Structure 1
Amino acid sequence: MTQKFGTENISKLLLKQAIPASVGILVMSLNMIVDTIFVGQWIGVMAIAAITVVLPIAFFISSIGMGIGIGGSSVISRALGKGDRAVATTVFGNQISLTLLLSFSFVFLGTFFCFPLLQIFGAKGAISAPATDYFHTIIWGVPLLAFAMMGNPLIRAMGKPNFAMYTLILPAISNIILDILFIKIYPLGMMGAGLATAISYGVSGGFVIFFFISKHNELRITFRDLLLRKHLVRQIVALGGITVIRQGTISLLIIILNYSLFRYGGETAIAVYGIINRVMMFALFPVLGVTQGFLPIAGYNYGAQDAQRVKETINTSIRFGTVIASIIFIGIMLFPNQLVSVFTDDQNLLKATPEALIIAFLATPVITTQLIGAAYFQAVGKAFPALVLTLLKQGVFLIPLVYLLPKYYGVMGVWISFPIADILATGITYAYLKREIKMHLHF
């Protein structure tokens, strides 16, 4: 299958990779949305705020696995493009060892420092008790989530996008069913919501383990491949660390965001952002799918030293993603009230959220260029520019904006920070990517 990355029509190949990735992200996002609807309707508004506080911590730990997966899959894609299967196999083994070692270490640290960690992330006032219950329940499922997130891009790099999709679909379906069981049928409150989420993480991790030991996995490892190799770990960490740093930056953003929201709008403002965040996860799934589909194709052809196919992959991905993002933008502008009413019947939220949602999505049509530009450097193994471009939106622009603008514009300052950061990050990424293609993309 991987050989097709170097021969098949780019548009057709991108669709084969992007559609399963998009479907997987869609189902996962729907799961997050349904989860929010269930806890909002069956537990209460503070439950939405509690999940908004806790999930960034869980996602940061699981991002270690995702980072190792993306970093390793970049090395594997380029190795397969060169025909070097031995390196690909050893990298695969090192990814497994790194993920298990680091994810369990961070889970132990997170559990030990639970209370101050939750306080830092915004678990204040009425949010504190439900956030603590939720955190203690889901935390032990996080290593399996990290393992699944490591496996997802790796499976895609092996040319098996449908199996990568299943790693996202199966836990989402499990979580929805278990939410009904543990929140509605057996009213266990936040502990029930956490239990459903933790078990769904186990389903995802279990499926990835099944794939790795099945005949579908083309990279067969031995015990020697599990032994960490310094030069390979360095490459995996250099590229994968970008994802971890990005998630860490997002976690820092959430801390500052929740601080500003709580200070200028109270618990309700945090719940408003919780809804906006869920809509963002859902609405942008096809654009993120294009980005995920882009990575293995660009990496393989870069490894094969086919500059023309790499350029075509960049242009096709940006074109597809921009059209899709523009359609999403129009839909949100037309139906903001309907979107918000899906999540809650609380009158305060119904009044405050639609306008905030529209403002936050104003720059949606331009975001594909920023996503593909950052992903390109990660795909081809250029860690430093990939890191800089990845951090532009959340780190360089959004964190200062969500801290400073509310001082002058209140909660509205938080919402207008999002499109400003998007536009600035996209402009810089476009200029840098154009320069890179002109000066360096030739063999």
Structure 2
Amino acid sequence: MENRKNDFTKGSVARNIINLAIPMTLAQLINVLYNIVDRIFIGRIDNGATLAMSGLGLSLPLITIIIAFANLFGMGGAPLCSIARGKGNDQEAEEIMGNSFALMIIFGILLTIIGLLFKKPLLFMFGASEATFPYADAYISIYLLGSLFVMIGLGMNSFINSQGFAKIGMMTVLLGAITNIVLDPIFIFTFQMGVRGAALATVISQFISAVWILLFLTGKNTILKLRIQRMKLKLDYVKQIVSLGMSGFVMAITNSLVAIVCNASLQSYGGDIYVAAMTVINSIREVVSMPSSGLTNASQPVLGYNYGAQAYERVLKGIKFMTLVCVAYTFVMWLIITLFPSFFIHIFNNEPHLIEVAIPSLKVYFFGFFMMAFQFAGQSVAVALGKSKQAVFFSLLRKVFIVVPLTLLLPKLFGLGITGIFLAEPISNFIGGGACYLTMWLTIGRDLKKKALLQKEKAVL
């Protein structure tokens, strides 16, 4: 039957996750190219490349806020759809998706208006100088006009992946990324538009991705259809979506907060060159963390579906598999980055002074990178199974209660200075990642084990 298509209670749990993870990880890696390709090309502008890179870095908190709202409604609604499908209730799943889409449209418009009205004071609050503000302003002004496309492109793609159509989800970002890669050099160099060209290429790319998503979700090949009659907001669904999506929202918002505090501190202690260096380091982190993020995100539909179907033993197997692979991958990447830091930095910038300050900073920032995998895994389990409060708490713990205070405090201690700012991230990974994963096993894991044991006992009787 159609409503049993992509049934994740069948076959190997690990294989189900991998089947989703490969295209979803590729999709996320490609999705990162939207901003990463911009930074690569901007880093090669003949005059003012470092200032342009700093300006782009200052725009990232605003971009992250837009992404946060896409996560709020996309990552909030998609797991609920998986759980509803696992229960066999496709109508409820469609209503959840329709409500999520309506919320994305409303907030996409609001964010565009608010962002354009307050961009100047916000950029200076984020650490802009008179030299870097023109670049930041030029980029974000155009990017904000495409906020609605970003919301649809990022948020609604979660509903394609949650139904098991990971290859279609990959095509969503592939179309946009290819467009971005082609248009970037044309707009930046051929038309000599600089950072404005990078922003315009990104907006056009996101528009194409959004159109592709809407065509699929209203077409005949999807399981759950996006229907106008399902878009009428219902308070109960809105509460559930926002509650569960709050984890992804808080994670993105706190990332924005950390970027603001970090850029301001770097501007104070080291100036524009260190803001540019952090932009490069964050770009490297986005790329190398994507496979781990892709695997944990791919596990959510599988874990949620099996949880809805009361297949608790399969949920436990999925958690263990996801954790093992994520930790192994991030450990290997930590070693590679530590041994070959200049290789990664050269991808984004060739200026000798920036490379000189970025290499030691990169090594400090990525120390113990494998601990981040425990944060990804613990929060993904909580989101997949609808445990929103736990996911939100650990998002806040790592970023707001650990990274932000350490970023402000460490530079003043033991003569650490700039090094203290970069040291805040690895310390938070060890404390926050360890606490998040351990708590997940002691609460959610213990509950799953009890339920699985009861099922075995009933089966024997």
Shared fold per TM-score greater than 0.5: yes
* 1:32 Cα deviation from its structure 2 partner: 3.2
Give yes or no for the alignment of 1:126 onto 2:145: no
TM-score (structure 1 length as normaliser): 0.97
Q: Secondary structure at the match of 2:279?
A: helix
Give yes or no for the alignment of 1:28 onto 2:35: no
**1:158 equivalent in structure 2:** 163
Q: Is contact 1:82–1:304 with CA below 8 Å preserved after alignment?
A: yes
Gap regions ≥5 residues in structure 2: 452-461
- Matches of 2:32 and 2:84 in 1, distance apart? 32
State the Cα deviation string for residues 103-161 of structure 1 (Å, max 9, x = none).
Answer: 11111111111211111222223111111111111111111111111112111111101
**1:11 equivalent in structure 2:** 14
Equivalent AA in structure 1 for residue 402 of structure 2: F
1:163-202 residue pairs with structure 2 within 5 A?
163-202=168-207
Q: Is contact 2:94–2:225 with CA below 8 Å preserved after alignment?
A: yes
Give yes or no for the alignment of 1:432 onto 2:455: no
**1:56–1:2 distance in 2 versus 1, CA, 3 Å:** farther
1:372-387 residue pairs with structure 2 within 5 A?
372-387=377-392
Q: Secondary structure at the match of 1:187?
A: coil
**1:211 equivalent in structure 2:** 216
**1:332–1:411 distance in 2 versus 1, CA, 3 Å:** same
Q: Is contact 1:329–1:362 with CA below 8 Å preserved after alignment?
A: yes
Q: Secondary structure at the match of 1:124?
A: coil
**1:326 equivalent in structure 2:** 331
* 1:295 Cα deviation from its structure 2 partner: 0.8
**1:157–1:268 distance in 2 versus 1, CA, 3 Å:** same
Number of paired residues?
443
**2:292 equivalent in structure 1:** 287
Q: Secondary structure at the match of 1:41?
A: coil
**1:388 equivalent in structure 2:** 393
- Matches of 1:3 and 1:165 in 2, distance apart? 17
**1:2–1:360 distance in 2 versus 1, CA, 3 Å:** farther
1:2-81 residue pairs with structure 2 within 5 A?
2-42=5-45, 44-81=49-86
Higher helix share: 1
**1:303 equivalent in structure 2:** 308
- Matches of 1:438 and 1:240 in 2, distance apart? 21
Q: Is contact 1:61–1:107 with CA below 8 Å preserved after alignment?
A: no
Equivalent AA in structure 1 for residue 25 of structure 2: S
Q: Secondary structure at the match of 1:214?
A: coil
* 1:171 Cα deviation from its structure 2 partner: 1.5
**1:360 equivalent in structure 2:** 365
**1:272 equivalent in structure 2:** 277
**2:145 equivalent in structure 1:** 140
Equivalent AA in structure 2 for residue 122 of structure 1: G
The sequence identity of aligned pairs, in percent, is: 29
State the Cα deviation string for residues 290-349 of structure 1 (Å, max 9, x = none).
Answer: 111111111111111111011111000001111111221121112101211222221111
- Matches of 2:395 and 2:250 in 1, distance apart? 9
Q: Is contact 1:2–1:80 with CA below 8 Å preserved after alignment?
A: no
- Matches of 1:124 and 1:2 in 2, distance apart? 54
* 1:392 Cα deviation from its structure 2 partner: 2.5
- Matches of 2:34 and 2:333 in 1, distance apart? 19
* 1:4 Cα deviation from its structure 2 partner: 2.8
Q: Secondary structure at the match of 1:389?
A: helix
Q: Is contact 1:151–1:208 with CA below 8 Å preserved after alignment?
A: yes
Q: Is contact 1:170–1:203 with CA below 8 Å preserved after alignment?
A: yes
- Matches of 1:31 and 1:107 in 2, distance apart? 19
**Among 242, 248, 251, the residue aligned to 2:247:** 242
- Matches of 2:391 and 2:304 in 1, distance apart? 13
Q: Is contact 1:2–1:157 with CA below 8 Å preserved after alignment?
A: no
TM-score (structure 2 length as normaliser): 0.93
The root-mean-square deviation of aligned C-alpha atoms, in Å, is: 1.5
* 1:245 Cα deviation from its structure 2 partner: 2.1
- Matches of 1:438 and 1:141 in 2, distance apart? 41
